[in-house]
Amino acid sequence: MYKILTKKKLRDGTTMMEIEAPHVAKKALAGQFIIFRVDKLGERVPLTIAGTSKTGVTIVFDAAGASTSILSTLEAGEYIQDFVGPLGKPTHINEKAKRVCVIGGGVGSAAVLPIAKAYFEPRNTQVDIIASFKGAEFIILENEMKNVCNNLYMMTDDGSYGEQGFVTGKLTQLIESGVAYDEVITIGAPIMMKFVAQTTKPYGIKTVASLNPIMIDGTGMCGCCRVSVGGKMRFACVEGPEFDAHEIDFDSLMIRNSYYVDEEQKSRENCRLVIKGRDA
């Protein structure tokens, strides 16, 4: 069993928790993920690691499905069944990079933090972060992002905060203004990452995308996380989750990710959340 050390509501529907897991925290590196189960009957859910301490691992999640909805009702001091990791390959840090851009969308902004930090703190690499949200009420972790970069560009779809527009518009503006990026790393919805890759490809900028395919065991055995990269089948849980964004077949990834949308909706509708003895 794994103890919830802290819990913080970032906004409606989005929660940050620190889970006591010293064996995971000791080995975890930027870009890796964990898989948790709330209880012995729960599904296995992968989440990218958002940070670590000596004894704990920070995760950020939306209450999107049954398991994450149940997890969001638990409080500090309570326990979850399983917390496995670190899984996946860590982010490859380009020691020679002079300037990088890390792009996150929505809750993916949490996964931006350890990657940006890995570049920003120990070396002289200049780090830009472009973060995208639907509107001001959806913004999370702004101060945390400011602490691990030289420049933070906040984008909102409706213009209610920061600049109005998409991450690709800001990225194009920066590149065309003369900013020379050695690498772009993007994390978020597949459609966003697809267009980031299309934006950087004409400029020949190395671009890496962190993928979020359907995943079950996290060991490559089930094959659910398979994705086409450079025309070859790859397994995101053991060979990723990061791949060359210019070689990823994002269209097939999005189709696979939509396979169980109906089942997930039914699961949410049938999920009975017990909160301190009351059904919710």
Q: By percentage, how much of the chain surpasses pLDDT 90?
A: 71
Residue 133 φ/ψ, nearest 5 degrees: -140, 160
Contact 275, 269 (CB under 8 A): no
Closest Cα to residue 25, out of 110, 85, 98, 95?
Answer: 85
Give Rg (Cα) of the chain: 18
The 82-87 sheet, strands edge to edge: 45-48, 33-37, 82-87
- The Cα–Cα gap between 78 and 193 comes to 36
Render pLDDT for 114-136 as a digit per residue (tens, 0 to 9).
999 999 987 779 999 999 999 99
Distance CA 174, CA 72 (A): 38
Domain pair 2-88+269-275 / 99-210, same fold? no
Exposed, middle or buried, 96 (CB in 10 Å: 0-12/13-18/19+)? exposed
Lowest mean pLDDT among 191-200, 250-259, 261-270: 261-270
pLDDT tens-place string over residues 91-101: 999 889 999 99
**Which of 192, 57, 209, 187 lies closest to 110 in space, CA to CA?**
187
Count other C-beta atoms under 10 Å from residue 55's C-beta: 16
Above 70 in pLDDT, residue 274?
no
For the cut 90, the answer to whether the pLDDT of residue 270 exceeds it is no
- pLDDT mean over 242-271: 78
Would you state the pLDDT for residue 142? 95
Of the candidates 51, 61, 172, the one whose C-alpha atom is nearest the C-alpha of residue 116 is 51
pLDDT tens for each residue of 54-106 = 999 999 999 888 889 999 999 999 999 999 999 999 999 988 999 999 999 88
Q: State the amino acid at position 137 in one-letter form.
A: E
192-233 confidence digits (pLDDT tens): 999 999 999 999 999 999 998 777 777 777 777 788 999 999
Task: Kindly provide the residue ranges of all beta strands, DSSP E only, lying in 38-174, ordered along the sequence.
Answer: 45-48, 51-52, 56-62, 79-80, 82-87, 99-105, 126-133, 151-156, 163-164
Instruction: Return the pLDDT at 273.
Output: 45
Asked if residue 261 has pLDDT above 70, the reply is no
pLDDT value for 221: 76
Q: What is the per-residue pLDDT across 130-175, written as a single tens digit (0 to 9) for each?
A: 999 999 999 999 999 999 999 999 999 999 999 999 999 999 999 9
Statement: residue 263 has pLDDT above 80:
no
CATH topology for the 2-88+269-275 domain? Elongation Factor Tu (Ef-tu); domain 3 (2.40.30)
Q: What is the pLDDT of residue 279?
A: 44
Name the packing angle between helices 167-176 and 190-200 (round to 10°).
Answer: 20
What H or E segment, with its residue span, contains residue 171?
helix 167-176
- Asked whether 134 and 166 are in contact (CB, 8 A), the reply is no
The predicted pLDDT at position 259 comes to 66
Instruction: Look at the block and give the residue holding tokens 């004894």.
Output: 55
Alpha helix ranges (H) inside 16-128: 22-27, 66-73, 109-120
Nearest to 194 by CA among 215, 163, 166: 166
Nearest to 85 by CA among 21, 41, 30: 21
> How many Cβ atoms are within 10 Å of 82's Cβ, its own excluded?
16
- Cα 230 from Cα 220, distance rounded (Å): 19
Please tell me the predicted confidence (pLDDT) of residue 264: 63
Q: CA-CA distance, 18 to 41, in Å (whole number)?
A: 22
Instruction: Domain 99-210: state its class.
Output: alpha beta
Domain-wise residue ranges, the chain: 2-88+269-275, 99-210
pTM of the model: 0.88
